[in-house]
Amino acid sequence: MKKSLALLFVCIMALASVLGGCSGGSDDKNTLTVWAMGEEGKKLNQLAKKFEKENPDIHVKVQAIPWASAHDKLLTAVASQKGPDVLQLGTTWVPEFADAGALKDLTPYLDKYPNFKPDNYFDGAVQTMKSDGKIISIPWYVETRVLFYRKDLLKDAGYDQAPATWDELKDAATKLAARGGKNLGIDIDRKDQITPFIFAWQNGYDFKMENGKGNFDDPKFKEAMKYYSSFFKEGLSSTTDGVDIVQAFKDGQKPMFISGPWMIKILNDQAPDLKGKWSVAVLPKKETNTSSIGGANFSVFNSSKHVDQALKFINYVSKVDTQLDWLKISDALPSRKEAWNDPALKDDPMFATFGEQLKNTKTSPQIKEWEAVAQDLIDALEKVNVGGADLDKEMKDFEKKANDALKK
C-alpha cells in the first residue's frame, strides 16, 4: 500500500505541474497553514501569536488535529495535494511520508537557517531528520524513557539508589515482588512498541537490513527478548491489564516503571502524597543504558506555495528561547541541546535526569514498515508472556513475518 502511495503521489505531482492546480497550503499569500497534532496543536497558537508579532506580514493559521485521525488526514493530503504549508509529524511517521515524496528537502536552507543544522540536536533526534541523505524534518520537541521508582520501597529492599545494571534491576524487582500479595517488582508495558527495542539496544543490538531482511536473528536481539520476557515469566511484572499505573505506583503495587516526561506532571497532580518518595533515574545498563527518543518534528509540505514563510516559522520554533517558552506552555522537552543549559532544566533533578538520558538514545528504525514490524513483535511476545508460548518458536515466526513485511 505504501509503495502505491508513493506512486500515486508522483503521478499527482506530475499532473499538478501540468495543470497548475491543487497546491498545498492557503491561497492567501500572507497566510501560513500549520497542521499540529493533539494537545500540542491546541496550544501552538500561543507560539503562533508571538511569531506573528515578530513577523507582522505573516498570518499563521493553526489547525489542531486529533492524533487518532491525523494519519488518515495526512494520507489524504498527500494524495490530493491539498495539505498545509507546515506539518507536525510524529517521529515514527517521518520515513513513510518522506518515502512518499511529501516532504520538502530543507538541505539547501541550512546556511540561511543555522537552527536547522543537525549538530544542534541530540544524536538520536538527528536520525529522524534525514531521508536519502537529505534533511526533511526539524525536531520540535523530544521525549525519552527513564526509570520511575519509589525511593522508600527500594530502600526497604536494600537499594539506596536506583538499580544501575540489568542484574540490579532484576534483583531489585525480585525483592520488591517478594513482598507478597498483589505486589509486583516492576511494571513493563506489554503494549508499548519501543520497550523491547530499548532492551535490545542496551544489549548491543543495532537494527540492520541486508538483502531486504532485518537482522532479527542476531543473538543479542534474542538474548534481550529473553531478558524482557523473564520479568513476566518470573511474576515480576503483570500479565493482566486494568490496574491504573498511578494508583498502583501510589499503593506500592508497582514500585518501578519505565515511562516518559509526561508522567512527572501526572504523578505530581494525581499522587501529591508521594512527594519526596519517588524519583527518576536513567535506565539500567547491560552494554549500554540506551533509551528511545521520540517526540515530533516539523516539515514543509512539498507542494506549499509559502516556503519562505514556512521556513521562517520552523526557524522560530527551533530557537532556544522559543523552545524554553514552549516548555513552560506545554511541558514538552526541548529538542535543542543548548536549551538544556538553562537553569529551568539543568537545576531541576527530574528534568536533568531526562537530559542525561537524552545523551544516549536511539530512534525507532527509520523504515516506513516500522510500526507494522514493531506490532508483530509485540504480538509475538504477548503469546509468550501471557499465553505461555515458546519464546524461540515465536521469535522465529516473528522473524519470518517481519522480513516478509520488509520485502513489500
Which structural domain, as residue segments, surrounds residue 303?
31-143+293-362
1 pLDDT higher than 60: no
At 24, is the pLDDT very low, low, confident or very high (cuts 50, 70, 90)? low
Q: How many CB atoms lie within 10 A of CB 99?
A: 19
- Quick: pLDDT tens for 87-115: 999 999 999 999 999 999 999 999 999 99
Q: How confident is the model at residue 22, as a pLDDT? A: 42
User: Are 157 and 208 contained in the same domain?
Assistant: yes
What DSSP string describes 309-320? HHHHHHHHHTSH
How many structural domains are present in the chain?
2
Question: Residue 332 carries which side chain, given as an amino acid letter?
Answer: A
Report yes or no on 371 lying in a domain: yes
Contact residues for 257 (Cβ-Cβ < 8 A; gap 6+): 147, 148, 186, 187, 188, 189, 245, 249
What is the distance between the alpha carbons of residues 201 and 224, in angstroms, rounded to a whole number? 8
Q: How confident is the model at residue 408, as a pLDDT? A: 73
Report yes or no on 137 lying in a domain: yes
- Quick: pLDDT tens for 275-308: 999 999 999 999 999 999 999 999 999 999 999 9
Report yes or no on 10 lying in a domain: no
Q: How confident is the model at residue 242, as a pLDDT? A: 77
Contact residues for 393 (Cβ-Cβ < 8 A; gap 6+): none
User: Are 77 and 44 contained in the same domain?
Assistant: yes
Report yes or no on 19 lying in a domain: no
Report yes or no on 4 lying in a domain: no
- Quick: pLDDT tens for 207-258: 999 988 999 999 999 999 999 999 999 999 999 987 899 999 999 999 999 9
User: Are 71 and 163 contained in the same domain?
Assistant: no
Report yes or no on 338 lying in a domain: yes
Domain CATH number, residue 104: 3.40.190.10
Q: How confident is the model at residue 26, as a pLDDT? A: 59
Question: Residue 126 carries which side chain, given as an amino acid letter?
Answer: V
User: Are 223 and 371 contained in the same domain?
Assistant: yes
7 pLDDT higher than 60: no
Cell numbers describing residue 171: 534483583
3 pLDDT higher than 80: no
User: Are 129 and 221 contained in the same domain?
Assistant: no
User: Are 119 and 181 contained in the same domain?
Assistant: no
Residue 27, burial from CB neighbour count under 10 angstroms (0-12, 13-18, 19+):
exposed
Report yes or no on 13 lying in a domain: no
Q: What is the pTM of this model?
A: 0.91
User: Are 135 and 64 contained in the same domain?
Assistant: yes
User: Are 325 and 396 contained in the same domain?
Assistant: no
What is the distance between the alpha carbons of residues 144 and 357, in angstroms, rounded to a whole number? 7
What is the distance between the alpha carbons of residues 318 and 139, in angstroms, rounded to a whole number? 8
Query: For the chain, how are helix, strand and coil distributed in percent, rounded to 5?
Result: 50, 15, 35
User: Are 95 and 136 contained in the same domain?
Assistant: yes
User: Are 127 and 251 contained in the same domain?
Assistant: no
User: Are 235 and 279 contained in the same domain?
Assistant: yes
User: Are 201 and 102 contained in the same domain?
Assistant: no
